[in-house]
Structure 1
Amino acid sequence: MDYQVHYINPDIKLSNYTGKLFKTEAAFNDHLLVWLISGETKIIQADESFVFGAGSTFLIPRNQLATIINVPKDGLPHKAVAMHLSTKRLREFYDRENAKLKTATPKIFSFHNHPLLESCFASLVPYFEMQENFPENIASLKINEAISILRTIDKNIDSVLANFEEPDKIDLITFMEKNFMFNMPLEKFGYLTGRSLTTFKRDFHKIFNSTPQRWLTRKRLELAHYQLTEKNKKPVEIYYETGFENLSHFSFAFKKQFGYSPTQLQRIKTNS
């Protein structure tokens, strides 16, 4: 298999990917702390992108819409240890702390080659060789250690980790115009905008006079057309950045929308 995941605990895993490219659309329910042993990870958000190489440690806050692309590099697999910082564990941790919280916008945090975090994660690697279950009390100790290290490194991290609020009802136009390229279930779009699925669909139709599915497809194809014509990108470079599952589905939808395929558009542009 190209992709293998080994859990020593429901909240701690080691992933190993040897294929060409592994893409996922994310808006995680938990904060995700990742130590990248080898390979490269690209994280694409609506307004910025990040590229992390071997040795990087980064935190993806919960409910952050992003496209995550993992690729092997330098002849090595994409290999990473990931730790889920769940709301339940964080509540238990902060119940013992007297943290002063500041309002902050969640963002991707990068802790490049930090020795304390590297040591914490490296100490987990031998446990993946164990055949028996990883003791829960040790897992809790390692997760609490990681949280304590994060708080030592970044004094503002509490504003993200100790914020347990659910998304409020927000402006639908602004959110969807910013995040339409992320291939999320409609339930997730509803949750992130503070709505049930039924309310999301009702509000969406009232505002856009269209179903979410039709509107999302049209917006993604318009973005893809712009990337092909104005940015000179290739279809294989953009289909996963514009919310499509695979190249064939993208090409089919593109031709249905515009009357010509992405490759035909490229030829027209080259010969003009």
Structure 2
Amino acid sequence: MAESKIDHPVPVIAYSCYFSRNREGEQFASEHVFSYQIEGMLTINTGDRENVFKEGDFRFIKRNQLIKFNKEPAPGGSFKAISIYLDQAALRSFAMEYGYQSDHVNGLVSDAVTPLAPNPLFTGFMDSLWPYIQGDQAINGPLQNLKQREAIMLLLRLRPELKDVLFDFSEPGKIDLEAFMNKNFHFNVQLKRFAYLTGRSLATFKRDFDHIFHTSPSKWLQQRRLQEAHYLISEKGRTASDIYLELGFEDLSHFSFVFKKQYGMPPSKLLSFT
């Protein structure tokens, strides 16, 4: 069974279930997410921090984040998780109805990924969704919206400081481009996504990038990824097949080709010297 989004045009409640093998990847979290790990283990890397979530763990992921993940089924079992997506439209409506507003710009009180302490209220909420999932019963739009609002209320009750994150509707502000790129170069996303996350238009991003790095973003990204690859192979003994996706390359053969062009030898030969 793969990931399913339950009877709603916009993913509000999503159930993930995988068997047999790990699944690795990366994604852009465009909305806040409240999740529960039912079985298996999830590892999330945000560039400067790694979080590991095991069976029974809860988590909150802040919107506008680049994340890498590894979904690992339990030994002899599966990977199962439930996620509630808290989209901006729903949060705006909730804020207007109950008079909430953020007191901090860009949600400064929260990390990209926040582990949430287990609580019977969180557990009871997730358990209320399980009969629909087990019985393969569709959760219609109005009921999903109700559950979404219940999730917001629970987060505000048990983690009231998240108010400043949930109801911060500002777009990313202009930030330190050099620091951001050195942290996130290994994410395989389009330049327009990098531009958005640094608070710039694509044209301004390219102009500022040239001013700082004196080259184009595409050339810099390839060189920076190759530099990191050389370090991981020569100093850490990693193999090309282990790291090419981790560093933002889509294809192993292409990675090997550009690596050899840059360093005069294929990754496998460099590894033999370690």
What is the TM-score with the length of structure 2 in the denominator? 0.88
Provide the residue aligned with 1:5 in structure 2.
4
Structure 1 runs not aligned, ≥5 long: none
Q: Residue 257 of structure 2 aligns to which amino acid in structure 1?
A: F
Q: Residue 144 of structure 1 aligns to which amino acid in structure 2?
A: R
How far apart in 2 are the matches of 1:14 and 1:88?
22
Provide the residue aligned with 1:39 in structure 2.
40
Q: Does 1:177 align with 2:161?
A: no
How far apart in 2 are the matches of 1:57 and 1:168?
29
**CA positional deviation for 1:52:** 0.9
**CA positional deviation for 1:101:** 3.6
Structure 1 segment 127-146 matched on structure 2, within 5 A: 127-128=132-133, 133-146=138-151
**CA positional deviation for 1:192:** 0.6
State which of 214, 219, 224 in structure 1 corresponds to 2:219.
214
Structure 1 segment 114-193 matched on structure 2, within 5 A: 114-128=119-133, 133-193=138-198
Of stretches 78-87 and 122-131 in structure 1, the one that deviates more from structure 2 is 122-131
- Relative to structure 1, is the Cα distance of residues 249 and 23 closer, same or farther in structure 2, using a 3 angstrom cutoff? farther
DSSP 3-state at the match of 1:150: helix
Q: Is the 8 A contact 2:95 2:101 kept in 1?
A: no
Q: Does 1:81 align with 2:82?
A: yes
How far apart in 2 are the matches of 1:42 and 1:174?
24
DSSP 3-state at the match of 1:219: helix
How far apart in 1 are the matches of 2:72 and 2:259?
26
**CA positional deviation for 1:98:** 3.8
Q: Residue 24 of structure 2 aligns to which amino acid in structure 1?
A: K
**CA positional deviation for 1:99:** 3.8
| Identical amino acids, percent of aligned pairs | 37
How far apart in 2 are the matches of 1:251 and 1:123?
49
How far apart in 2 are the matches of 1:45 and 1:134?
32
Provide the residue aligned with 2:49 in structure 1.
48
Q: Deviations over 1:89-143 (max 9, x none)?
A: 1111121234464432441111243322122122112223567753322112111
Of stretches 119-128 and 35-44 in structure 1, the one that deviates more from structure 2 is 119-128
- Relative to structure 1, is the Cα distance of residues 131 and 71 closer, same or farther in structure 2, using a 3 angstrom cutoff? closer
How far apart in 1 are the matches of 2:48 and 2:84?
25
Give RMSD over aligned pairs: 2.2
How far apart in 2 are the matches of 1:72 and 1:28?
22
How far apart in 2 are the matches of 1:22 and 1:200?
32
Provide the residue aligned with 2:58 in structure 1.
57
Q: Is the 8 A contact 1:8 1:128 kept in 2?
A: no
Of stretches 22-31 and 180-189 in structure 1, the one that deviates more from structure 2 is 22-31
Aligned length: 268
How far apart in 1 are the matches of 2:24 and 2:151?
26
**CA positional deviation for 1:255:** 2.2
**CA positional deviation for 1:158:** 0.6
Of stretches 249-258 and 30-39 in structure 1, the one that deviates more from structure 2 is 249-258
Q: Residue 215 of structure 2 aligns to which amino acid in structure 1?
A: S
How far apart in 1 are the matches of 2:20 and 2:191?
29
**CA positional deviation for 1:236:** 3.8
Structure 1 segment 218-257 matched on structure 2, within 5 A: 218-257=223-262
Of stretches 153-162 and 229-238 in structure 1, the one that deviates more from structure 2 is 229-238
Q: Does 1:202 align with 2:207?
A: yes
How far apart in 2 are the matches of 1:56 and 1:264?
42
DSSP 3-state at the match of 1:242: coil
How far apart in 1 are the matches of 2:76 and 2:38?
13
Structure 2 runs not aligned, ≥5 long: none
State which of 106, 114, 139 in structure 2 corresponds to 1:109.
114
- Relative to structure 1, is the Cα distance of residues 254 and 88 closer, same or farther in structure 2, using a 3 angstrom cutoff? same
**CA positional deviation for 1:237:** 3.5
Q: Does 1:264 align with 2:269?
A: yes
Q: Is the 8 A contact 1:25 1:184 kept in 2?
A: no
How far apart in 2 are the matches of 1:139 and 1:31?
16
**CA positional deviation for 1:73:** 2.4
- Relative to structure 1, is the Cα distance of residues 115 and 132 closer, same or farther in structure 2, using a 3 angstrom cutoff? closer
